[in-house]
Structure 1
Amino acid sequence: MTDIPGSPGSIVVVGSINADLTTTVHRHPHPGETLLGGGGEISAGGKGANQAVAAAQLGAEVHMVGAVGSDTMADSALVHMRASGADMSAVHTVDGPTGLAVITVADDGENTIIVVPGANASVDADYVDRHARLIEQAGIVLLQGEIPADGFNRAVDLAQGRVVINLAPVVPVGHEQLRQADPLLVNEHEGALVLEMLGAPTTETDPSTLVAVLLGQGFPTVVMTLGADGALVGDAEGLTAIPTPTVEAVDTTGSGDAFAGALVAKLADGHSLVEAARFAARVGAFAATRRGAQASYPTLVDDLPTVTA
């Protein structure tokens, strides 16, 4: 395959593509406990693919760099990406299984997720180098933590535009590359783990303090998502609280990825980080009102919830 060249306003997502196996339970089981559940459907997922679809459905020019396996799960993993309009010329099929996420959703909307890398493990430095021109020409390169560290590091090294990193899960990557994030996008738990990885562990749990400490570690900007409490944007001007609409959560699976995709879509369109985060909070809230990950994401014709006083 030949990459379609990117443009100054394009987003290149270098990340994971999964098939999601989703089950539902009244509550999450305790260790050693067996519960009866429902569901069992297979749907499209993977943090990279989720974020690519979220951005593409909002009108952004998106190119996906990733891999699926040679199994029957691949079609399920790509169904929404194909429909979203994202460029898939840098998505290849490799021998073996497609990445798999096993998701359990409780009645309160909270979820647990176990990820099996599968084909995503092939997205290493050599794989990324095959798409160097596409990454170099991108306006924004968006990365997560579900591909090999050398692939992650190489993508950052190739990027000549803005780098946005949602290091989820928090895995060991190059410290120099990680600090290129503008912004670093994390939740509270991930923020603390990033600090620990950088050799600056903290017992602080206050989000404002965590964002300030991350800025002190050399990140030019930080966005910390806080679930129903919205988000915090930290930059050279200080901290800005981002409210989120009040919604009845049905399934929070992929809501954080919806936030990330919406954030970069607005950044690519020339909006400020605070403006982009305000929009992203509305998109993330919308996604929480529907089941699934990519299936829950809005398009340009959907009405987003608004923040009320």
Structure 2
Amino acid sequence: MAATAQSATRPRVVGFGDNVVDRFLDRRVSYPGGNSVNFAVFAAQLGAAAAYLGVFGTDALAAHLQTSLTGLGVALDRCQVKEGETGWCDVIVVDGDRVFGDWNGGGVTTAEPFVLSAADLVYLAGFDLVHSGVYGGVEDELFLLRQLPALVSFDFSDEKEFRTPAYLDRVCPNVDLAVFSCEAYGREETEALVHEVHGRGVGLVLATSGLQGSLLYDGRALRHGSAVRVDAVDTMGCGDAFATAFAVTCLQQGWQRDRLPSPESLDRALRLAAHFSAEQCLVEGAFGHGKEF
């Protein structure tokens, strides 16, 4: 039987999909990351029982990823290892904000994405929420996840290719919480997007806009969350931190597929997410654990 937020004070969550290493060229340090990995790490920091499920390569970067995650209390029970290179992306920091450069296409995780077995589905049924995103290459697995009691959250990132009607039609029916980065959007465009996504069957639609704050739509009302300003050291992973804190807080407030959090709970989740995200802006890399290269 799946764990539920009602039966356990400690939510059980899993990040499913991508892992990557961010290579900061200005400081010659590599940091572990990836949307699904970041979700698992941040959830563990927030007190959830957290796991990661994905494909690791066979190089030194993959070994560092695994060592970092286990050291941070993230379970890797059913991860796969496949011959190949870990995904990497070159980054520099300009005035506290990260600027992306070259990347290798995601490595083996993208080349041979995770395919769920019957045993994997039994394992995932023990979680309250499974989180994934556009870089995990697991869109075809979302229908299977939707058959489980666990909620499904999905990060659509900020790229237009993941906002086409065809892509939204493919993904949205299998998602309970959709997360979008809309820093480049105006308010009207963001509102139109969250309404469009909710109309495709998503219960909660969250759009983050950096210092402009956040916007949430649950079919009842649009809710705005204010950003918390800090002197950022590095904004890598801050959006992931926001989405993770929002999801974990909602689970702690009793969120289930057939029961949305109360308006008061949603407001509280937005506030806590803003504070947690701001704290991550003071950390180098997504969550530290850098290694010189």
Q: TM-score range by the shorter chain?
A: 0.7 to 0.9
Superimposed CA distance per residue, residues 258-279 of structure 1 (whole angstroms, 9 cap, x where no aligned partner): 1122222222322633322221
Q: Does 1:46 align with 2:34?
A: yes
> Are positions 1:270 and 2:253 aligned together?
yes
C-alpha distance in 1, partners of 2:280/2:187?
A: 30
Shift of 1:45: 0.9
- CA deviations on 1:269-291 (whole Å, 9 max, x unpaired) are 22633322221111111111222
Q: Which residue of 1 aligns with 2:3?
A: 7
1:55 aligns with 2:43: yes
Match of 1:167 in 2: 156
Mapped contact 1:188–1:207 kept (Cα < 8 A): yes
User: How far 1:78 moved relative to its partner?
Assistant: 2.7
1:50-76 alpha-carbon deviations (Å, 9 max, x no partner): 111011111101121112111111122
Q: Give the count of matched residue pairs.
A: 266
Tell whether the 8 Å contact from 1:135 to 1:158 is kept in structure 2 after alignment.
Answer: no
Distance 1:40 1:159, change over 3 A: farther
Q: What is the RMSD of the two structures over their aligned residues, measured on CA atoms? A: 2.7
Aligned: 1:124 with 2:117: no
- Equivalent positions of 1:134-149 (< 5 A) are 134-149=123-138
Amino acid at match of 1:166: D
Give the aligned partner of residue 203 of structure 2: 220
Q: Mean alpha-carbon deviation: is it higher for 50-59 or for 262-271?
A: 262-271
What CA distance in whole angstroms lies between the structure 2 residues aligned with 1:109 and 1:78? 27
**Counterpart for residue 178 of structure 2:** 184
CA 1:287/1:150 → structure 2, altered by over 3 Å: closer, same or farther? closer
CA distance in 2, matches of 1:255, 1:247: 12
Deviation (angstroms), 1:183:
1.8
**Residue 208 (structure 1) aligns with:** 191
- SS of the residue corresponding to residue 270 of structure 2 reads helix
Structure with the larger RCO, 1 or 2 (CA within 8 Å, 6+ apart): 2
Please, which runs of 5 or more residues in structure 1 have no aligned partner?
A: 24-37, 193-202, 297-309
CA distance in 1, matches of 2:269, 2:187: 27
Moved over 6 A (4+): none
Deviation digits for residues 157-182 of structure 1, max 9, x if unmatched? Answer: 44322111112365475725423322
- Give the alignment partner of residue 97 of structure 1, picking from 73, 85, 90: 85
Identical-pair percentage: 23
Cα distance 1:250–1:167, how it changes in 2: closer, same or farther (>3 A)?
same
Note the residue ranges of structure 2 that are not aligned, 5 or more in a row. Answer: 5-10, 255-264
Q: What TM-score does the superposition give when structure 2 sets the normalisation length?
A: 0.80
1:274 aligned partner, one-letter code? D
How many Å apart are 1:213 and its aligned residue? Answer: 3.3
**In 2, Cα distance between the equivalents of 1:134 and 1:108?**
39
1:254-293 → structure 2 map (5 Å cutoff): 254-270=237-253, 272-293=265-286
- Stretch of structure 1 that moved more, 239-248 or 262-271: 262-271
Secondary structure of the residue aligned to 2:285 is coil
Q: Which amino acid aligns with 1:7?
A: A
Shift of 1:234: 0.8
Which aligned pairs between 1:17-56 and structure 2 lie closer than 5 A?
17-23=19-25, 38-56=26-44
Distance 1:259 1:113 in 2: 24
Letter in 2 for 1:12: V
Q: Normalising to structure 1: TM-score of the pair?
A: 0.76
Structure 1 contact 68–91 (Cα < 8 Å) conserved: yes
Question: How far apart in 1 are the matches of 2:249 and 2:101?
Answer: 28
Give the whole-Å Cα distance in 2 for the aligned partners of 1:118 and 1:229: 34
In the TM superposition, what is the alpha-carbon distance from 1:228 to its structure 2 partner? 0.8
CA distance in 1, matches of 2:134, 2:144: 12
Structure 2 counterpart of 1:184, which letter?
A
Give the drift of 1:156.
3.0
Q: State the distance in 2 between where 1:113 and 1:257 align.
A: 20
Alignment correspondent of 1:302: none
